[in-house]
Amino acid sequence: MKRRSVSLILGSLLSLALVPAAHAAEPSAGCPSVGKNWAAPGPFAVTAEAGGTEHTIYRPSELGGCGRHPVLVWGNGTGASVSVYEPMLRHFASHGFIVAAANTAWSGSGTEMRAGIDYLTQQNGSAGSVFHDKVDLEHVGATGHSQGGGGAVASGADPRVDTVVPIEPGPQGSVEALHGPVFWLAGQLDLVVLPNLLVYPRYQQSTQVPAVFGELAGASHFTPVGDGGGFRGPITAWFRFHLMGDELARGEFFGDGCGNCDSPAWSRFERNAKATEPPRA
């Protein structure tokens, strides 16, 4: 065997061995790249529709552009409706996610959020449904704001949920029950969910999983309302990496060149040991 062939084989084996601790999902088949334009609209037109009586679904209008589309379940803040967050939920759907937003103003238990997975599971198996065989139930994320952020933590105990992004979260849910990567988000000027009292300590408790903490500079408790403000892009990158295998998003959070680590967009940005440890040999 020629020396060049041996080198190529060894190089391939080495690249397979160097899988980071915070690794991505297998890429969704054919899902279009967006470069690094996480905060910009994605490539899909979006349809909003009722998901039974309990959910509002935001999805790519033409399903199949990512093969099967990963799922996000969403929880509203206390007293809020899905419509309050519609621009951000449409944004996620434009990037190829199927979003099941719970139609409740009291989402802290995570029960209604997890029911969105049940609904999409049933639809994915129904031959007459637009969702038939188009839902990637192997890649599911949970996110929400305020009480809904607490609901995202509670949802993270479900073995079907791979990763969670609690946005300025309430105290609901068990940190110890999380089994996948978590991106804790706080607002520097949040006077409702105080970062140092209610968010950062939960990040510190997340020692069993890769955990990242981001405190958005200048953000209040209501910055996530509407289109998500400065939270929108980082959340999109996080889910595109973990649920779609978008390798361009990896460097936003992981590795020595972590794009967010020194960004002035954050008043504080930290990663725990499992999010910074070297690749596994």
Integer-rounded Cα Rg, in Å, for the chain is 19
How many whole angstroms separate alpha carbon 245 and alpha carbon 253? Answer: 14
CA dihedral 262, 268, 273, 276 (to 10 degrees): -20
pLDDT 10s digits, 198-208:
999 999 999 99
Contact 216, 231 (CB under 8 A): yes
pLDDT at 29: 52
Task: Specify the DSSP class assigned to residue 277.
Answer: S
> pLDDT digit string (tens) for 95-134?
999 999 999 999 999 999 999 999 999 999 999 999 999 9
pLDDT of residue 30: 62
Nearest to 271 by CA among 280, 279, 281, 256: 256
Position 197 scores a pLDDT of 98
* CA-angle at 76, arms to 227 and 118, nearest 5°: 110
Identify the residue with better confidence: 22 or 11: 22
Exposure string over 202-211, b if 16+ CB within 10 A, otherwise e = bbeebeebbb
CA distance 220 to 186: 9
For the segment 123-146, the average pLDDT, to the nearest whole number, is: 97
Q: How far is CA 133 from the centre of its chain?
A: 22
Q: How confident is the model at residue 25 (pLDDT cuts 50, 70, 90)?
A: low
Residue 28 pLDDT: 55
Tell me which of 20-29, 94-103, 204-213 is least confident: 20-29
pLDDT digits over 43-93, tens only?
Answer: 999 999 999 999 999 999 999 999 999 999 999 999 999 999 999 999 999
What pTM, to 2 d.p., does this model score? Answer: 0.90
